[in-house]
Structure 1
Amino acid sequence: MSTPPFQPASDRDIDIVSAQLGRPVRNVIGIPARCVCGAPTVVATRPRLDDGTPFPTLYYLSHPAATAALSQLEATQVMTEYTQVLADDEGVRSAYHRAHESYLADRDSILVVDEIRGFSAGGMPERVKCLHALGAHALSAGPGVNPIGDLALERAAWSTEVCECADYDLDGTID
């Protein structure tokens, strides 16, 4: 099987993501989206962790400013609005289903894990559950793949074009 088109994670990336999250990361296999400064924004995690646990969340948002902005957006109850968009707009609904299939194909290209087969992230393909997961997928896959992730990123008080990173030392600590 081939792997999705993302850069492998370097030791420095792992240190930065661990600093971003405030804990050691596990089973990171790549960096599918980066800040304009080069720091990781989204990490890709193996579908089965080293301890054998199935892990359905391939694309995980790690950037603190992006995470905070999507948390603030979730607090406005916008998921209800986006779920209504899915109900009302056949085009968005179809695109969201394709985003779900794309997510599954990316994950399965790394490793097929029977326990999570058919489960993607963020409520796809039927509802909107987690803007962090949907935004991470949209950042990783690029504009136009995940319509709800795209909507959330457009509305969030954060931009991929402006660096809001802390400074990271080589040991992974934040200055």
Structure 2
Amino acid sequence: MLFDGWQGIWRTALVGVLAYLALIIILRVSGKRTLSKMNAFDLIVTVALGSTLATILLSADVALAEGLTALAVLVLLQFVIATLSVRSKMVSKLVKSEPALLVYQGRLLSDALHRERVVAEEVLAAVRSEGIADLAAVAAVVLETDGTFTVVAQNEQPAHSTLRNVKGYPPQHES
């Protein structure tokens, strides 16, 4: 069926505008954390929000109030989990992965690459994107909790205080 009448189209348009505006308000009230770079937990919530919004728009069986309640519940749960993860290391470890050290002092850490399922080419591309042509000029490459790479360049006075919470730092000697 290509066209089932104007009633469905008007409902979708009206509910779409209202649900979209409500989602923007809910996300703004919940804070910047909801819209930040995503770890796996945040991605799940984002996909669930998108799926819920699509259901609100396309299913006449779901009233706008029910759909908005579902959106609010998802954002509230994300807010509660994010707040608990800030206050509790145990919750944080359940929800977020730890950053992982992949390169240290210009050396690829093959065990860490394997454990994190990262190929050396991805790391080398991240190093190049920072304008560094030689791996020996790299103090560290960290796989962050959101899946991005952080490249720390070597400098004359090594200070690695930002690496203290990185899994695998300092690295054990690999064979």
Q: TM-score w.r.t. structure 1 length?
A: 0.22
Higher relative contact order (CA 8 A, sep 6+): 1
Which structure would you say has the larger Rg?
Answer: 2
Q: TM-score w.r.t. structure 2 length?
A: 0.22
